[in-house]
Amino acid sequence: MSDTAIRASSETLLATKAPKRPANMGQILRWLILFLGGIAMIMPIVYMLSTSLKWPHEVYDVNLVPKEPTLDNYRFVLEDGRFYGWFINSLVIATITTICNLFFDSLVGYTLCKFRFPGRYIVFIAILSTLMIPTEMLVIPWYLMSQQFGWLDTYWGIMFPGLMTAFGTFLMKQFFETVPNDFIEAARIDGLNELEIWWTVAMPLVRPALAALAIFVFLGNWTAFIWPLIVTNSVEMYTLPVGLSSFGDEADVAWELIMTGAAISTIPTLVVFLIFQRFIIRGVVMAGLKG
């Protein structure tokens, strides 16, 4: 698909005007079925939230609306303190990783896109080829590395593998193609150095791509499981998914508490999504089709 087609499709995806058709039975039926399907899609999330508001004795009822809603489960889980710490860990790690990706991925993408220099092609192919290497293959060597340098059970240890991604680099490279070279030349004539050109001229022009990348990186790190599971071993250093996993085991049959923990790790991304919905969907399309 060409660039313009992708841009056009991500734009039209959000536009709701289309040729008006008279509502007929077929359309109404289609709407109803899709509506019921959509409700079914969110049922696991709804049940999670509803159970987190139930008293223990009501958990086994299939009713959706709690008879006597309570925030007791949240109070219990948060007073325990661990979830609070895991939440902070996840937030700090996902935020720093996102900022780092935005900076480096766009810097590398920009360099590969706008500079001509010996070695450009080799660097390009080398970074591209890392897309083929699965994380699971690297976790053993990363673990050994972390053990050797004392990175086990530290923020740095959890973060270092994801500070730059080939996916982000290529997404940004694609978008810098849309920045006209004339702008860059003009800035050069005005006496800006290359770093200033990148930061003040090119970066503001690719803001939508930066936002898309930020969403993907943040969500990816917020929900990341296998590497944080391997690299952390003290309870205080767990991220939310790792903490939730260990908490689920420990809580055993206290499903209302497990659902509360699950809700705590899900609500932030859901809220962010509901606020920035159109924006996020556009970002997903851009990242999905271009990256």
Partner 1 sequence: MYRNLSIRQKQIVWAWAFLAVPVLFYSVIRFYPTGNAILISFQDWNLLGKRTWTGWENYIKLVNDPVFWKVFKNTFVYLILGTPISLVISFVIAYHLDKLRFMHGFLRMLYFLPFMTSAVAMAWVWRWFYQPVPIGLFNNLLASVGIPQIAFLNSTTNALPSVLAPAVWAGLGFQIIIFMAGLRAIPRSYYEAARIDGVSNWTVLWEITIPLLRSTIVFIVVFSSIGFLRIFDHVFNMTTNNPGGPLNATKPLVLMIYESAFTNYDMGYAAAQTVVLFLILLAVSLLQLYLLRDSK
Q: Which of residues 4-63 bind partner 1 (CB under 8 A)?
A: 5-6, 8-10, 12-13, 16, 18, 20, 23, 27, 30-31, 33-35, 37-39, 41-42, 44-45, 47-48, 51, 59-60, 62
**Interacting residues with partner 1 between 216 and 235 (CB under 8 A):** 219, 222-223, 225-226, 230
Q: Which stretch binds partner 1 (CB under 8 A): 67-75, 80-88, 155-163, 202-210?
A: 155-163
Cβ 176 vs Cβ 210: under 8 Å: no
CA-wise closest residue to 184 among 173, 200, 168: 200
Would you count residue 139 as binding partner 1 (CB under 8 A)? yes
Pick the closer one to partner 1 by CB: 141 or 191: 141
- Nearest approach in angstroms of CB 139 to partner 1 is 7
Tokens of 206: 């690719």
Q: Which stretch binds partner 1 (CB under 8 A): 66-74, 149-157, 201-209, 242-250?
A: 242-250
Pick the closer one to partner 1 by CB: 59 or 158: 59
**Interacting residues with partner 1 between 195 and 214 (CB under 8 A):** 195, 198
Phi-psi region of 21 (alpha: psi -120 to 50; beta: other; left: phi over 0): beta
Pick the closer one to partner 1 by CB: 140 or 235: 140
Residue 85: CB atoms within 10 A of its CB come to 16
- Nearest approach in angstroms of CB 235 to partner 1 is 16
CA-wise closest residue to 217 among 92, 88, 93, 101: 101
**Interacting residues with partner 1 between 74 and 103 (CB under 8 A):** none
SS3 177: coil
Would you count residue 187 as binding partner 1 (CB under 8 A)? no
Would you count residue 141 as binding partner 1 (CB under 8 A)? yes
Residue 206: CB atoms within 10 A of its CB come to 22
Pick the closer one to partner 1 by CB: 61 or 236: 61
Q: What is the DSSP string of 186-255?
A: HHHHTT--HHHIIIIIIHHHTHHHHHHHHHHHHHHHHH--HHHHHH--SGGG--HHHHHHHHHHHHTT-H
